A and B are shown apart, each in its own frame.
Chain A
Amino acid sequence: MKNKNISFWLFILPALFALTVVVFYPFFYGFYYTFTDWNGLTATTFLGLENYVNVFQDERFLDSIEFTIKFAVVSIILVNLLGLGLAVLVTQKMKINNGLRTIFFMPNLIGGLILGFIWQFIFKSGFDAVGQMFGIEFLQGWLATSETGFWGLVILNVWQYAGYIMIIYISYLQSVPQELLEAAEIDGASIFQRFWRIKFPLVAPAFTVSLFLTLSNAFKLYDQNLALTNGGPYGSTEMLAMEIYKTAFSRYEMAYAQSKAVIFFILVAAVAISQVYVNKKREVDM
């Protein structure tokens, strides 16, 4: 027993060491910097909680929190709806299933920056050309206002992640026991009843995974944001990660940015943990 313990700890030591050096140590060091006026090179004075007080009076930061939450809510709903929809579609008995799966998953293989630029072209030039051809004003001037910027980001994100989330739903849908479905069919359940009463509850664990993935992804989104709108117009589509980056690397307020990042970390951690907790509880009930 004793030997087993020692070897256990010995085996874990290298990983623990690596983690300490590259994760824990920088994390706590960064945390320490938030109490100083660190500018990236030197820290001269100890400020206490001043940075944190300022963060909560920083309108730009608060705006970006609001924008990020708005974006997260809308895109989580849409990504999951579309992902589930696609999963149901490609698990029907069709010949082109595999082809469709590949196509739906494809956007996920393209890097965020490239996607951002592709969609920027679509929104700015593609939409504009179609709009001019058919005289649809709605399609013109996309990304020039904060509303179109917001929806542009949502569309991009949904398009990219729906395929990925679809894969998760597919695996759960396929593990639904055939005999249940057959029994229901014999009992005269319609296709909708079979979906809502049998498949949907059995797929519930997938929601935990999918919601967690889409949630943390929506909060941490950066490269698509950078490539598509770069926060414009007038910083109104600036998400949290980008706001923090800009504070650090274009205004050079490193310590201040670090304290924003700590708040960002707490926010993401809190949301993600409570979401997993709630979902886990619900799974058991079903």
Chain B
Amino acid sequence: MKKKMMLWVVGMLTFLLVLAGCASDAVNEGSSGNDTNDSGGSSEEDTALTNVDIFQFKVEFKDQFEELVQLYMEENDDVNLSVQTVGGGNDYAASLKAQMASGNEPVIFNIGGPTELEEYRDYLTDLSDTEAASLALDGTLNGVEEDGAVYGLPFAQEGYGLIYNKNIFDEVGIDPATLTTFEAMEDAFKTIDEQKEALGLEAVVALPASELWVMGNHLANNYIAPEFNNDILTAYEADSISFEYGDQMKRMLDLQNDYSVQPVLSLDYSMQVEQLFSTGKVAVIQQGNWIYPTVEQMDSDFATNGIGMMPMPFEGEYEDHLPVGVPQYWVVNQNASEEEIQAAKDFLDWMYTSDQGKDFVLDEFKFIPAYDGYDASRISDPLSQDVYKYSVAGKTLGWTFMATPVGWNEDILATEFQKYLAGDVTFEEALDVAKQSWESSRQ
């Protein structure tokens, strides 16, 4: 009997504990905003410091960024910035979510575009009163601007296309600038392919079909952006996709596959960029300006003098356009205290508009600036220069994959492309699956 009683008591205690857990959680949720305010306020009284937590994703410039932050803190001793870097696309999103859920919210963090804007809307501060927002280049605020409010400040610009080996094109006597149509491109590939032994090539192209983003995000976007009039928001609001330029998409994929090192389905980014392109075993790869540091590490002379970027062929209004976009935006958490928000805005402004900040952006971060007032001739590498050239000329395509249904480009479209390349489905079937998936997620 006694034993049973004890069991009951313990059982009830456990239950109470669970309830207590729930209850305290609920209270926390309600007041977490106030909590951070309070602690922020009190610590400020003690030390006169405003703490700003930065949670950012770009691993590549972590060291340089921390250096910049240090510099800023030396100049402004009433602000304490702490940087946390969590790498790579998916991991960042997951840990940001965890950070938010735990109540330990950063003041400055990154979002990718309209899809994440929607998700984090309740957390975002309007940044339209910052100087940086007013200096942002046309189109770079496209995905984060709504009814006059600017919710994010662009990191930088990035662009991708077909990166070619200048030496090989010189040797076969083809000018890459003339390759704006499919016919010209196909002829060029054929010419190179015929001489590949003499040129020391393994194949003309390396198509890393195991990297879902290369096909699903980048290749496809070249033929999806025109369908949505080159506007990210149109894509974001579209209920369906018709693949108006699907045949051109197929032509581009086939062209790369036909002239690629095989088997494409196990070829990955590092083989494409490091093992094949940097060592001169392929002449052309579809990649972006971000590969420059890698190529430079492998062969710095080749990186500075031997490479260039050209757009993928497109027939129609957007011929000779390069897809240029903003990979990530800086945003400021609305739940932070007023001092923290102001300090965050000041810091972002300083980074992109002060002379010191500009030097860092160009020389240390090696960004392609997304803001007015930069000396374009100081952009350091040839790929970025090509991107900036197209950007200044206004010959750019938007990055619609920032505005497609979540996961659609990689999990659906690129996966179907892989099936097509493996010969399991036809291209039309692949597109049909992608169409249906788009419609069902946009219901």
**Chain A residues within 8 Å of B, Cβ to Cβ:** 1-2, 5-6, 9, 13, 16-17, 20-21, 24-25, 28, 39-41, 124, 140-145, 230, 232-235, 246, 249-252
Contacts of A9 in B (CB 8 A): 6, 10
The contact sample of 5 A-B pairs, CB cut-off 8 A, is A6-B6, A20-B18, A144-B265, A144-B266, A246-B407
Shortest CB–CB separation between residue A139 and chain B, in angstroms?
A: 12
> CB within 8 A of A252: which of B407, B410, B422?
B407
In whole angstroms, how far apart are the Cα atoms of A28 and B411 in the complex? Answer: 30
Interface assignment of B178: CB less than 8 Å from any CB of chain A = no
Contacts of A2 in B (CB 8 A): 2
The closest CB in chain A to the CB of B25 belongs to: A29
Report whether B101 and A251 are in contact in the complex, using a CB–CB cutoff of 8 Å: no
Contacts of A252 in B (CB 8 A): 93, 119, 406-407
Report whether B418 and A234 are in contact in the complex, using a CB–CB cutoff of 8 Å: yes
Contacts of B93 in A (CB 8 A): 249, 252
Interface string of B380-415 (1 = CB under 8 A from A): 000000000000000000000000001100110001
Report whether B210 and A232 are in contact in the complex, using a CB–CB cutoff of 8 Å: yes
The closest CB in chain A to the CB of B266 belongs to: A144
The closest CB in chain A to the CB of B441 belongs to: A251
In whole angstroms, how far apart are the Cα atoms of A39 and B265 in the complex? Answer: 33
Q: Which 10 residue pairs are nearest across A and B when measured between Cβ atoms?
A: A234-B418, A144-B263, A251-B407, A144-B266, A144-B265, A141-B263, A233-B265, A249-B94, A143-B266, A40-B97
In whole angstroms, how far apart are the Cα atoms of A1 and B1 in the complex? Answer: 12
Interface assignment of B21: CB less than 8 Å from any CB of chain A = yes
Report whether A145 and B18 are in contact in the complex, using a CB–CB cutoff of 8 Å: no
Report whether B6 and A17 are in contact in the complex, using a CB–CB cutoff of 8 Å: no
In whole angstroms, how far apart are the Cα atoms of A249 and B410 in the complex? Answer: 13
In whole angstroms, how far apart are the Cα atoms of A5 and B10 in the complex? Answer: 12
Known A24-B18, A235-B415: A250·B90 in contact at CB below 8 Å: yes
Shortest CB–CB separation between residue B196 and chain A, in angstroms?
A: 17
Contacts of A246 in B (CB 8 A): 407, 411
**Chain B residues within 8 Å of A, Cβ to Cβ:** 2-3, 6, 10, 14, 17-18, 21, 90, 93-94, 97, 100-101, 119, 209-210, 212, 262-266, 271, 406-407, 410-411, 415-416, 418-419, 422, 424
Interface of A is mostly: loop
Report whether B14 and A20 are in contact in the complex, using a CB–CB cutoff of 8 Å: yes
Report whether B100 and A41 are in contact in the complex, using a CB–CB cutoff of 8 Å: yes
> CB within 8 A of A251: which of B209, B265, B411?
B411
In whole angstroms, how far apart are the Cα atoms of A235 and B410 in the complex? Answer: 11
Identify which of B119, B262, B263 gathers the most chain A CB atoms within 10 Å of its CB. B263
* 11 additional contacts (CB under 8 A) given A2-B2, A233-B419, A251-B407: A13-B10, A20-B21, A40-B101, A41-B97, A41-B119, A140-B263, A144-B210, A145-B265, A232-B265, A235-B411, A249-B90
Shortest CB–CB separation between residue B15 and chain A, in angstroms?
A: 9
Contacts of B264 in A (CB 8 A): 144
Contacts of B209 in A (CB 8 A): 233
Report whether A21 and B407 are in contact in the complex, using a CB–CB cutoff of 8 Å: no
Known A144-B263, A249-B90: A232·B119 in contact at CB below 8 Å: no
Contacts of B18 in A (CB 8 A): 20, 24-25, 28
Report whether B101 and A41 are in contact in the complex, using a CB–CB cutoff of 8 Å: yes
Contacts of A142 in B (CB 8 A): 266
Contacts of B212 in A (CB 8 A): 232
Shortest CB–CB separation between residue B244 and chain A, in angstroms?
A: 25
Contacts of B263 in A (CB 8 A): 140-141, 144
Contacts of B97 in A (CB 8 A): 40-41
The closest CB in chain B to the CB of A246 belongs to: B411
Report whether A145 and B415 are in contact in the complex, using a CB–CB cutoff of 8 Å: no
Shortest CB–CB separation between residue A58 and chain B, in angstroms?
A: 12
Contacts of A230 in B (CB 8 A): 210
In whole angstroms, how far apart are the Cα atoms of A13 and B9 in the complex? Answer: 12
The closest CB in chain A to the CB of B29 belongs to: A42
In whole angstroms, how far apart are the Cα atoms of A286 and B416 in the complex? Answer: 53
Known A41-B101, A144-B266: A20·B17 in contact at CB below 8 Å: yes
Identify which of A2, A13, A143, A251 gathers the most chain B CB atoms within 10 Å of its CB. A251
Contacts of A124 in B (CB 8 A): 266, 271
Shortest CB–CB separation between residue A238 and chain B, in angstroms?
A: 10
In whole angstroms, how far apart are the Cα atoms of A21 and B21 in the complex? Answer: 8
Contacts of A16 in B (CB 8 A): 10, 14
The closest CB in chain A to the CB of B422 belongs to: A233
Report whether A25 and B407 are in contact in the complex, using a CB–CB cutoff of 8 Å: no
Contacts of B411 in A (CB 8 A): 235, 246, 250-251
Shortest CB–CB separation between residue B260 and chain A, in angstroms?
A: 12
In whole angstroms, how far apart are the Cα atoms of A61 and B355 in the complex? Answer: 53
